Amino acid sequence: NAGVTQTPKFQVLKTGQSMTLQCAQDMNHEYMSWYRQDPGMGLRLIHYSVGAGITDQGEVPNGYNVSRSTTEDFPLRLLSAAPSQTSVYFCASSVAGGASGANVLTFGAGSRLTVL
Partner 1 sequence: GQQLNQSPQSMFIQEGEDVSMNCTSSSIFNTWLWYKQDPGEGPVLLIALYKAGELTSNGRLTAQFGITRKDSFLNISASIPSDVGIYFCAGHSRSNYQLIWGAGTKLIIKP
Instruction: Kindly identify the residues of this chain, within the stretch 46-85, that bind partner 1 according to CB under 8 A.
Output: 48, 58-59
Cβ closer to partner 1: 10 or 14?
10
Among positions 23, 64, 85, 108, the unique one binding partner 1 when judged by CB under 8 A: 108
From the list 14-22, 43-51, 64-72, 78-86, the region that binds partner 1 by CB under 8 A is 43-51
Any contact of residue 8 with partner 1 (CB under 8 A)?
no
Any contact of residue 2 with partner 1 (CB under 8 A)?
no
- The candidate with the shortest Cα–Cα distance to 4, out of 20, 25, 22, 21, is 25
* Beta strand residue intervals within 1-110, DSSP E: 4-7, 10-13, 19-25, 31-37, 43-51, 54-57, 64-66, 76-78, 87-94, 106-107
